[in-house]
Amino acid sequence: MSDLATSKVGALVSENIKTAHIFKKHGIDFCCGGGISVEDACKKNNVSLSAVIEDLNNMDHEVDRQLDYNSWPLDFLIDHILNIHHKYVLESLPVISEYAEKVASVHGHHYTEVLKIRDHFRGLNDELLSHLQKEEVVLFPYVKRLLQMKQSGQSVDRDFVESPIKVMQMEHDRAGVVLRELRKLSKNYMPPADACNTFRALYHKLQEFEADLHQHIHLENNILFPKAIELEESMKG
């Protein structure tokens, strides 16, 4: 128990993605908040440590090779993030924005929380569009270039990658705060009993969006970014 209690949340999820479902069940952030121990995460979220440890011990520990992200080459992981998660975000932002605007316009006079949901999502939309562009234009191409240089035996003479990564992590943290607020405002994405179909579609899509962004941020914060920093460090001349 002590080993699991002192293990970092993000590291456990990197080793076996199935642990993510257990942390999610107990309301523990495994992406933005993945850098702390299981014990500290339980204290922070007022969760029973013994209950979390029991669930971790009782889960199926066999790692699905298709989901063993920690073993993937960095360029393959980057392509996965681009083709799965970036694509999903870019496709979903306009859909959710349209739902949020319509629900706020029609139901905002009675359910005032949807006005705040609309406003929060507007900010998240703008932040994510800028964030994805910085990753696609600056960070990801640089990491791929490092990999090519490593393969050809070249070295680097300065640190670069850690600076944009810190910016990306700060933006991840801000996105995490907005996601938590959206979940709170929507009462865990539970629409009112008299909600129309668009109202229900908004909450369903927001919940789906949250799940995807948590996985997206986990892959970057807990796997890609540390390995990119380690790669650059190993190439110093």
- Domain positions in the chain are 2-66, 72-234
pLDDT at 161 over 70: yes
Q: Which pLDDT value is given to residue 18?
A: 79
The pLDDT-based confidence of 95 (bands split at 50, 70, 90) is very high
Q: Residue 217 and residue 155: Cα distance in Å, rounded? A: 29
Question: Please, what is the angle between helix 225-234 and helix 162-185, to 10°?
Answer: 170
Q: CA distances (Å), 134 to each of 40, 164, 227, 235, in order?
A: 32, 9, 19, 23
Q: Which pLDDT value is given to residue 165?
A: 97
Q: Report if pTM > 0.75.
A: yes
SS3 content of the chain, % helix, strand, coil (to 5): 75, 0, 25
Q: Which pLDDT value is given to residue 27?
A: 85
Region 8-36: mean pLDDT is: 82
Bridge partners, residue 8, by sequence: 37
Region 110-136: mean pLDDT is: 97
* CB 146 within 8 Å of CB 235: yes
Q: Tens digit of pLDDT for each residue in 45-75? A: 898 999 999 888 888 666 666 678 999 999 9
Q: Work out the percent of the chain whose per-residue pLDDT is above 70.
A: 96
Instruction: Tell me what the pLDDT averaged over the chain comes to.
Output: 92
The pLDDT-based confidence of 183 (bands split at 50, 70, 90) is very high
Q: Which pLDDT value is given to residue 1?
A: 39
Region 101-121: mean pLDDT is: 96
**CA atoms in the 13 A half-sphere facing the CB of 122:** 9
Q: Of 10-14, 37-41, 192-196, which range is least confident?
A: 10-14
pLDDT at 164 over 80: yes
* CB 41 within 8 Å of CB 29: yes
Q: Work out the percent of the chain whose per-residue pLDDT is above 90.
A: 74
The pLDDT-based confidence of 21 (bands split at 50, 70, 90) is confident
Q: Residue 73 and residue 67: Cα distance in Å, rounded? A: 13
The pLDDT-based confidence of 196 (bands split at 50, 70, 90) is very high
In a 3-state reduction of DSSP, which class is residue 236? Answer: strand
The pLDDT-based confidence of 134 (bands split at 50, 70, 90) is very high
Q: Which pLDDT value is given to residue 121?
A: 98
Q: Which pLDDT value is given to residue 62?
A: 65
